[in-house]
Amino acid sequence: MTEMVYGAVPAQRGEPILPKWWRTLDKWSMTCVLILSGIGLLLGLAASPPLAARNGFDPFHYVERQAVFGALAMAAMLLTSMMSPTLVRRLAVLGFVGAFAALALLPVLGTDFGKGAVRWYSLGFASVQPSEFMKPVFIVVAAWLLASSQQINGPPGKTWSAMLCVTIVGMLVMQPDFGQASLVLFGWGVMYFVAGAPMTLMVGMAGAVVMGGTIAYSASEHFARRIDGFLSPEVDPTTQLGYATNAIREGGLFGVGVGEGQVKWSLPDAHTDFIIAVAAEEYGLILVMIIIALYCSIVVRSLLRLMRERDPFIRLAGTGLACIFGVQAMINMGVAVRLLPAKGMTLPFVSYGGSSLIAGGVAVGMLLAFTRTRAQGEIGEILRGRG
């Protein structure tokens, strides 16, 4: 609690691992993540029983699974947050190799579960979505390459990271998974911009994205249908967007009451992609604003702490992780209120999903590891000539 008020104390040499970790950790951000996980379980109690009934399971089947996945996610987050940035980078490289191989083998060994996109591996008792794990490890690997390129006689890291980004985005688009592809591209673009990309290149990248979207609209019926539905002035009340929009409208400021919402009986993805609609209908705008504030707190606090970081790799990797975390939450909620086209993207730590929860735990654990207070001068001291 003292750290929350007065700020973190730099680590002392010779401290045991746990006291050192606790002293240097961003406790506010970790607390926000724990609250989000609790809200996810609360909303799961409301959103998942109808789906369990339709599939012939016990009423709280999905809630119990979410509790197990959530516990694994919290364990992964805590363990990763205790690691040094060097260890995080090394494990990210290994994780990247594994995630890349898993993505490459999806067309052969993957399944679509009847959803029209081959994104998962079926394990019988559960499924794994490799793209969820690819996001954080790619961000760390790309940050390492970008930081290396800034060294004297360093490797062409910017070029290598760009080639990796284009390859991964292409693999995701082929599934098709435009939502995850856009997140990967956005995360890399933010890091590339922070690393000092010229504005002409950024404008060119934006033009390439617009051109790619135009091609995808012409070539993919799935993509075109979602864009047309978003641009249509009328919302079909029998679609997922129609149900979600009506639920948010019905919820008002304080909601219709716990367990009284109706959208969970109509939306097949009420416990995943449209969980925010359940929150808005049963608990009202109050809970939605609390959820938004929690995400904003994590992102803003992380970026503020990273602004004082002297190590280019830590600064770039932390910035990329914080930005894709916040943007994923923004996209999920933006879809529910029809500010964005439907993406099929989960709300971090709130939506149901084993891969999303565990990968999110790893990503935030990496972010907490990068934003821990270290005994070093601040970046401002370098600029003032005191580094």
Question: Other C-beta atoms within 10 Å of 166: how many?
Answer: 13
Q: Could you tell me which of 359, 326, 325 has the C-alpha nearest to residue 127?
A: 359
More confident residue, 53 or 306: 306
Digit-coded pLDDT (tens) for 285-301? 999 999 999 999 999 99
Average pLDDT, the chain: 85
Beta-sheet strands, E only, within the chain: 121-122, 127-128
Task: Please report, as a single letter, which amino acid is at residue 74.
Answer: M
Query: In Å, how far are 181, 302, 346 from 132, measured between CA atoms?
Result: 11, 21, 10
Lowest mean pLDDT across 81-95, 119-133, 308-322, 331-345: 331-345
Contact 146, 159 (CB under 8 A): no
CA angle 212, 216, 217 (to 5 degrees): 115
* Cis ω for the linkage preceding 136 (within 30 of 0): no
How many residues can be counted in the chain?
A: 387
Digit-coded pLDDT (tens) for 59-85? 888 899 999 999 999 999 999 999 999
Report the pLDDT value the prediction gives residue 386, as an integer from 0 to 100.
Answer: 47
Instruction: Give 212-218's long-range contacts (Cβ < 8 A, gap of 24+).
Output: 216/173, 216/178
339 has pLDDT over 70: yes
120 has pLDDT over 50: yes
Q: What is the mean pLDDT of residues 152-177?
A: 89
Digit-coded pLDDT (tens) for 169-218? 999 988 888 889 989 999 999 999 898 877 777 777 778 777 877 777 77
